[in-house]
Structure 1
Amino acid sequence: MSFAPDEQRAFRRENRWNVTSVLMGCTMGAWFSILRERAADVAWLTYGHRVVVLTLSAAFHSAVSVVESLVYGRTVAAQPVRDDPVFVLGHPRTGTTLVYNLLGMDTASFIYPTTYLTTFPFTALALRPVKGLVSRALPKTRPMDNMELGLDMPQEDELGTNALSGGVSLVMPIVFMTRALDYFPYFTFERAPAGKFDAWRRALHLLLRKAAVLAGGQGPRRMLLKSPMHTARVRLLDGMFARASYIYIFRHPFAVFQSAANMAEKTYSLTYLDDPTDAQIQEFILAQFELLLDEYLAARERVRDRLLEIRYEAFEADPFAGVCSIYAHFGWPMPMRDELRAHCAQLRASYAKNDFRELTPGLKALIYRRWRRAFDVFGYEP
């Protein structure tokens, strides 16, 4: 894939020596299954040190996971996986995290996979006595958007299922961007190799069971989930969770691209094990958006009675009103209304938005050409 010079964005590579990774919580089995498949794609001279650290980390988590299985295996297995989760959907950088975090504040109504669980999905229960040490090493905000980050805050379930399934996930393109399109069958699993869907489903169920254990049991609360990859899986998820509810948030496509490009520089580059070109990074952003949108639009009528679509620009302007509209639409009680109101007021007063690089005329034309369906469906001007 190549682009004309005025269509191509340049992507900086930051933090080459960073060794934290979305794969840090893998066991040896999961890590070696990934490495066997992708060893030839590793940029060893540039990122070989990351492979060494990931191998050492995997050895540690393998040992601890044995303890976790022995001590907590029966407790985890006894947790039911209910069919009524709430999914927050949308392309990356459309505001899914904002919606997810605000709903996640309502701990009377929801439980969710936490950053702690999705980082250490094999060992989160056994490592609870040293959780405070991990918390002190965690940055206070996310590198790409200044959103608050904490071990007990809601996190994308796909980060946890990625490790638990040995890389059967759309998280893997940010590790092996040069082979990103190889992972696209994992959006819907319709063209995935045999056994991959079952591996992903088992991983998701295990993660949800552990989330319930860490939350002290699910009780009447619903599981709240957010991973942009799920936006392409509405048909699949509807078959797995018959009473699920869906919240889809959309944003101006130009802003989505700018924010996605910013994330590629500040976050993807933290985890690369290969050395992608600027064109490969840009094509991943463009192609991912197209697939997510097409699959979502093809499936949304199927769940129309359990779906709410919201516009990011309106939600960002008044987050509390936006949250209230979600509860009203689904007819949910709002037991933590005052706490949410106070938090939204604080958020509006303190949050600093990113300043993004301006789009060139050529890049704007390319985005409009590739993403025109989003402009048309959601009523945005180019």
Structure 2
Amino acid sequence: MKVVVAVDSFKGSITSMEAGIAVKAGILAAHPEATVIVKPLADGGEGTTDALIEGMNGKRIDLTVSGPMGDPVRTYYGYLENSNTAIMEMASAAGIMLSDHATPQEATTYGVGEMILHAINNGIRNFIIGIGGSATNDGGIGMLKALGFSFLDQNGKDVGEGGQALEKIVSVNMSDKMELLSQCHFQIACDVTNPLCGPNGATYIYGPQKGVTPEAAPVLDAGMANYAAVTASVIGTDYSLAEGAGAAGGLGFAFLSYLNGVLTPGVQLLLNAIHLEEEIKNADIVVTGEGRLDHQTAMGKAPVGVAQLGKKYGAKTIAFAGSVTKEASACNKAGIDAFFPIIRGITTLEEAMDPQTAKSNMKSCAEQVFRLL
């Protein structure tokens, strides 16, 4: 029996790999002869870097960059030596949790560019970057400026930082951009389809949660449209209507327009990165799960991505979760053959989320399920 295990983290409790290793222990208790492969699982959002560092023997690289409001922040990214790949979360440098929300028009992605620059200077050429949870609405010009691009006003001077600068852009100077960028490949984990501008664009849809007021939104959106027009005149292609261009306050547009980035749904990108499909091809059973299974899980979250690969190759898919809701039955229609909550008795939330308790519950639940198989 070959079993492939890819369980998302139970946030606030156990990591993806801790969950997977606990499942493996339970399977082997029931079937000592089984071949059990454990892979990390994430969706491109928070926790992705940690999951891949832990699950793929990556290295954590710490550094200090400019935060969204210009203050220094400590951050890190992961390095996968085998593929010479950096794993980054833009939110760790320009995330909404790092913002004061008071002046969203000044928030910058400059620190994201500093992270990329640091990696390039260390010889890294491949990038997987999650761009959820931003505090910014600057169209990605901060990131690009850190990489050597210049955005100039009518007097040929730098336009400044943040979304407020976009309306001032008259020209773009790319003569000083980092030459090594041409050797780099950017895969961007992006789960939104919004265009750059307009009522469904970055400013109107995501601006309010970052502190953009109804009065400021039209001005910022007009600036975004100006930035898009100038960019199109410079590169010869207009990506402003591309799906995901409005992600992370227009950071998606910057990757598409200036860095030849490829925007991919986070789950698919991460499943490709861990080479999960190759392992599932000859698997008998696939195990997945996450902290809470509900109707949102069925709407394309990581466990369903795993289950769909299982279906593709005729493997049964089982899911374990800290808790399940009545609506979790939608997961069965989405490809999970059966799911099981791991809680074994009446308990408090604090007790259930204790890492040792969670791992013990996971192991025990997996063992009992696999005794049936």
Q: TM-score, normalised to structure 2's length?
A: 0.28
- Please identify the structure whose Cα radius of gyration is greater: 2
Between Structure 1 and Structure 2, the one with more strand by share is 2
Q: TM-score, normalised to structure 1's length?
A: 0.28
Between Structure 1 and Structure 2, the one with more helix by share is 1
